[in-house]
């Protein structure tokens, strides 16, 4: 009984690991050979957007590459803006660290040393806060807004081609239907 309980618990945890989907997700080796059913009007960019999903690993990539999510969802203008924002954040931190007048902990905690010039300390503190705000803010914006953009773009594409497919079956309203009879076979198991 104990062994069974342990097995169930183990199984439960293994499922939650898969759900986390950090890098361990089931992918058939030959799934890249599966050819999708596409509307003839679909552009390559639309196809790419439909194919893309955001996973936990993208969250890690976005922490390393500024604007990664926006580049992935084909929104390069905002991606470059985020790249600029994050770079200026890093430059601000670089300035504070190379100046070496105060430690980062002192600046973040707003705890100036006794010998500190208060005006200079405040300036460096403001730079630190702004830099950290830019770095963290650009990362969160990249992730949250990027996800929103991807979902919106995918919805638009799915709506467009889904609706056209449905309208293809719609009975004609006074017009001569120029239907091209085609038959498709889908084999699945």
Partner 1 sequence: MRKLFFLFVIFAFNILGISQTLNTEYHYLALIKNQPKPVVKDNLRNAEMVADSLWLLPVENPHLAALYFMELGNNYAKIKQHEMAIFSFFRQRFFFPFDSISIYVENQIREQSLFLNLDKQQVDILLQKSNTEVVQENKYNALDPLLCWIIKFENKRIENHILHHLELMQQKNITPSKTLLKWQDLTKIGIKTRKKRAYLSADFNQLTYKQQSNYIKHLTKFFIRHKSWSRAKESLNQLNKIKPGKKYPALGLKTRICLKF
Query: Minimum distance between the CB of residue 162 and partner 1, rounded to whole angstroms?
Result: 11
| 90: phi then psi, degrees, rounded to nearest 5 | -65, -40
Residues 130-159 interacting with partner 1 (rule: CB under 8 A): 152, 156-157, 159
Residue 134, CA distances (Å) to 35, 85, 89, 129, 164 in order: 42, 6, 5, 9, 43
Report the alpha-carbon distance of residue 146 to residue 13 in Å, rounded: 30
Query: Do the beta carbons of residue 40 and residue 117 sit within 8 Å?
Result: no
Asked if residue 177 binds partner 1 (CB under 8 A), the reply is yes
Asked if residue 179 binds partner 1 (CB under 8 A), the reply is yes
Asked if residue 77 binds partner 1 (CB under 8 A), the reply is no
Query: How many other β-carbons are positioned within 10 Å of the β-carbon of residue 141?
Result: 17
Q: Is 106 helix (H, G, I), strand (E, B) or coil?
A: helix
Instruction: Give 77 or 114: the residue with its C-beta nearer to partner 1.
Output: 77
Query: Do the beta carbons of residue 86 and residue 66 sit within 8 Å?
Result: yes
Asked if residue 36 binds partner 1 (CB under 8 A), the reply is no
Stretch that binds partner 1, among 50-58, 69-77, 130-138, 167-175 (CB under 8 A): 167-175
Query: Minimum distance between the CB of residue 169 and partner 1, rounded to whole angstroms?
Result: 8
Stretch that binds partner 1, among 2-10, 48-56, 86-94, 177-185 (CB under 8 A): 177-185
32 DSSP assignment: G
Using CB under 8 A, which of 14, 39, 48, 109 touches partner 1?
A: 39
Contact positions vs partner 1 (CB under 8 A): 39-41, 43, 152, 156-157, 159-160, 163-165, 167-170, 172, 175-189
């Amino acid at each position: 009984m104990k062994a069974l309980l342990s097995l169930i618990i183990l199984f439960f945890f293994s499922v939650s690991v898969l759900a986390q989907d950090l890098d361990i997700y089931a992918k058939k080796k030959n799934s890249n050979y599966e050819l999708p059913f596409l509307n003839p009007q679909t552009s390559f960019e639309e196809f790419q957007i439909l194919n893309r999903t955001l996973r936990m690993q993208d969250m890690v990539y976005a922490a390393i590459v500024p604007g990664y999510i926006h580049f992935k969802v084909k929104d390069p203008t905002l991606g470059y803006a985020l790249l600029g924002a994050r770079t200026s954040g890093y430059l601000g931190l670089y300035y504070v660290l190379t100046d070496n007048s105060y430690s980062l902990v002192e600046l973040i905690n707003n705890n100036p040393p006794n010998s500190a010039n208060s005006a200079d300390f405040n300036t460096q503190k403001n730079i630190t806060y702004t830099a950290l705000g830019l770095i963290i803010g650009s990362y969160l914006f990249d992730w949250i807004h990027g996800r929103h953009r991807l979902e919106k773009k995918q919805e638009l594409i799915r709506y467009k081609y889904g609706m056209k497919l449905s309208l293809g079956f719609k009975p004609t309203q006074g017009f001569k239907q120029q239907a091209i009879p085609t038959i498709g076979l889908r084999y699945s198991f």
